[in-house]
Chains A and B, each alone.
Chain A
């Protein structure tokens, strides 16, 4: 089987363009609705999140599902009308309340009243997160800044090891993957209420690492094939050969990385599910963009250049 990525390049570009456009629209809708590209979680906007679970070892404590209406009334009475309230868990025995930032006293008062109204909670199953608004911003800003600097470092390294245009298309492919993952989570935010927190930022960084890695391996092969060929071989043919020679590797590597992630997504616990999903989408997109985008875009660019610009970078 020989895959010609060049022959069908328009198809791949259309697929990616449609996907990225859809993602952009979803991100745009999020911007309108949440004033942020994704439905922001606590980490980024600040506030207090209380996750409480009824203590079911006490008899009759867990007989009925938690009454959300009662909780809402209670919160309204405390001037916390804008809070989000969810009853979750198998038998609706868990309560998640998100409010504006509460100090210790306010929080304890709220917990006390909830206990009175709903029943005893198990402290070992309680989760409290209070994040000041500045913390989230700092985390976000430092993360984005670090990302920019690492992009710059990657461009510098790749342009010395390869050439500047290789580096630029590698970053382009990487931005494609970031856009896809962000877009999917924007859709999930709109449809399923999925929020992103700082762990999502970490997932994005992981995707970036994988995507660059994948692209570099293919580029390495393109450079090698280009050096073996006559100078007048069309760059498209070089790219086709290089992609085919590395195809098994690309598939196998993606497979071996996705296996544990898919296992976590389908069989793991809730805590890691969103995280595994983000990585799965990102890794799949990373493999796709390396094979179908980074290579074809490079070929398109190179073929439009005067012949002298063909890679002659040295082989190690």
Chain B
């Protein structure tokens, strides 16, 4: 009994913790349930680069992130998938055409020379742009991002970006000529810099460009998709010949992260890799919501019937199973929230199936208990051996399902993976709740309440007289 009390306490703690998790970390719904656009972008190999490596994929991802930020969507998600794809999720977006145009273009990295007599205007606009970038980042990182404020900020940023462009001359050098860009720690050990390397043509163009602005107080504008990402100035010592040799460093007040970001942006812009939108799924914000809502209500009604059935058919154990099932549902949903499962239609399928299996484990145990009672065992022994003998069935059937989940998660993609993950979590937790919750509650009922012990019909109706007398 002491052990049962301990387990019972543990279950209570777990259930409360799960509820706390669910309140603080609500489940995120997939775009198929709440509307929005999901675009899959595939990086296309070229003759020069027939194989795409993870560096290049990251670089393209960074370019896409920049573009998504320009769209002013709250809570966008940009993820690399597989070897050559990037998935962009834009919840609640109402203008998928704009998103598709913005994301589908080829990244354009350009080096431009700042025009004469624009120093004042530049200083003001540049600091304004940096401030807006910082503010938008803050807004996005907030606990409850405010879509309107973000959209407003994005508009202001776009204005600033548009105003900056005319301050610079035409592009003298493009990303095509850039061979590499890397973040490196400063040799003094304090801070970071970004090194650039150009191909021979690029080296010449870069030398000319830097000679023009060296020591003038004007800057060298580095633009990605017409947006100024960096504006280094060039020291007066290069006024004669410019920075020659095809490599250069951009130094400034860089943190490791800033330097890394800039290097990735530059590399992304230097990629001559075209991208193509190979999949677009846009669901209107209210479409499907009705249908899903009705289905959820229907499923809940169905589950309610299951709970009623369990009590009617299995009596007291059925009621206990219902408690265990409720705990199961809460724990599973909390696990989804912790692991970061996004609930989509296949996820719901996995959840429904795992509920079915959780019920099944209980049914197996109770049927066994009944058999033991009919064979004349006492309640306590009946319950104990019911659990003991149902265990091998529960183990085998659940392990087979887990094996299938493992294979599907490992090899499957997208939908199939989501399904495998939710089902796997559900099955693992259902085994735990069936074998601990149901068992502990049953034993507490049998051991802790003498009145229960005298009424085996609470466990098994129509128990024969012979079996009944054996209980006494």
Pairing of A with B: yes
**Does A72 belong to the interface (CB within 8 Å)?**
no
**Does B416 belong to the interface (CB within 8 Å)?**
yes
Give the residues in chain B near A191, CB-CB below 8 Å.
Answer: none
CA distance A79 to B356 in the complex (A): 50
Least CB distance, A48 to chain B, in whole angstroms: 8
**Does B79 belong to the interface (CB within 8 Å)?**
no
**Does B245 belong to the interface (CB within 8 Å)?**
no
**Does A294 belong to the interface (CB within 8 Å)?**
no
Give the residues in chain A near B13, CB-CB below 8 Å.
Answer: none
Give the interface size class of chain A.
Answer: 35 or more
Main secondary structure of the interface of A (DSSP, over half): helix
Write the chain A residue with the least CB distance to B389. Answer: A224
**Does A229 belong to the interface (CB within 8 Å)?**
no
Give the residues in chain A near B309, CB-CB below 8 Å.
Answer: 252, 255-256, 259
Q: Are B294 and A267 in contact (CB under 8 A)?
A: yes
Write the chain B residue with the least CB distance to A162. Answer: B396
CA distance A231 to B290 in the complex (A): 60
CA distance A216 to B392 in the complex (A): 10
Write the chain A residue with the least CB distance to B409. Answer: A146
If A132-B278, A142-B413, A202-B416 touch, whether A269 touches B295 (CB-CB below 8 Å) is: yes
**Does B133 belong to the interface (CB within 8 Å)?**
no
If A104-B100, A146-B411, A201-B415 touch, whether A252 touches B403 (CB-CB below 8 Å) is: no
Q: Mark B399-441, 1 if CB is under 8 A from A, else 0.
A: 1110111111011111110011001000000000000000000
Q: Are A202 and B295 in contact (CB under 8 A)?
A: no
If A138-B413, A139-B414, A142-B411 touch, whether A199 touches B352 (CB-CB below 8 Å) is: no
Q: Are A154 and B403 in contact (CB under 8 A)?
A: yes
Q: Mark B293-304, 1 if CB is under 8 A from A, else 0.
A: 111011101110
Q: Are A209 and B404 in contact (CB under 8 A)?
A: yes
**Does B349 belong to the interface (CB within 8 Å)?**
yes
Write the chain B residue with the least CB distance to A223. Answer: B392
> Which of the segments A28-36, A80-88, A121-129 contacts the partner chain?
A121-129
CA distance A202 to B413 in the complex (A): 11
Q: Are A128 and B407 in contact (CB under 8 A)?
A: no
Within 8 A of B (CB), among A63-119: 104, 107-108
CA distance A246 to B282 in the complex (A): 47
Give the interface size class of chain B.
Answer: 35 or more
Within 8 A of B (CB), among A245-259: 245-246, 248-249, 252-253, 255-257, 259
CA distance A255 to B359 in the complex (A): 11
CA distance A268 to B309 in the complex (A): 21
Give the residues in chain A near B302, CB-CB below 8 Å.
Answer: 259-264
Which single member of A126, A146, A260 contacts B412 (CB below 8 Å)? Answer: A146
If A212-B397, A213-B397, A256-B363 touch, whether A263 touches B292 (CB-CB below 8 Å) is: no
**Does A230 belong to the interface (CB within 8 Å)?**
no
Q: Are A201 and B400 in contact (CB under 8 A)?
A: no
**Does A184 belong to the interface (CB within 8 Å)?**
no
CA distance A104 to B196 in the complex (A): 36
Give the residues in chain B near A17, CB-CB below 8 Å.
Answer: none
Give the residues in chain B near A310, CB-CB below 8 Å.
Answer: none
**Does B191 belong to the interface (CB within 8 Å)?**
no
If A142-B411, A161-B396, A268-B295 touch, whether A260 touches B352 (CB-CB below 8 Å) is: yes
If A128-B282, A260-B299, A269-B292 touch, whether A213 touches B400 (CB-CB below 8 Å) is: yes
Q: Are A267 and B298 in contact (CB under 8 A)?
A: yes
For this complex, 16 residue pairs linking A to B, each with C-beta atoms less than 8 Å apart, are A124-B285, A128-B281, A143-B413, A153-B403, A202-B346, A203-B349, A205-B416, A205-B419, A206-B350, A213-B397, A259-B305, A261-B352, A263-B299, A264-B299, A269-B295, A270-B291
Q: Which residues of B contact A (CB under 8 A)?
A: 35, 37, 40, 42, 94, 96-97, 100-101, 104, 276-288, 290-295, 297-299, 301-303, 305-306, 309-310, 313, 345-346, 349-350, 352-353, 355-357, 359-360, 363-364, 367, 371, 391-393, 395-401, 403-408, 410-416, 419-420, 423
Q: Supply 18 further A-B pairs (C-beta < 8 A) apart from A131-B279, A213-B397.
A: A122-B284, A128-B96, A130-B277, A143-B416, A150-B403, A158-B396, A198-B415, A202-B349, A209-B353, A213-B360, A213-B400, A220-B396, A249-B364, A259-B306, A260-B355, A261-B302, A268-B298, A271-B295
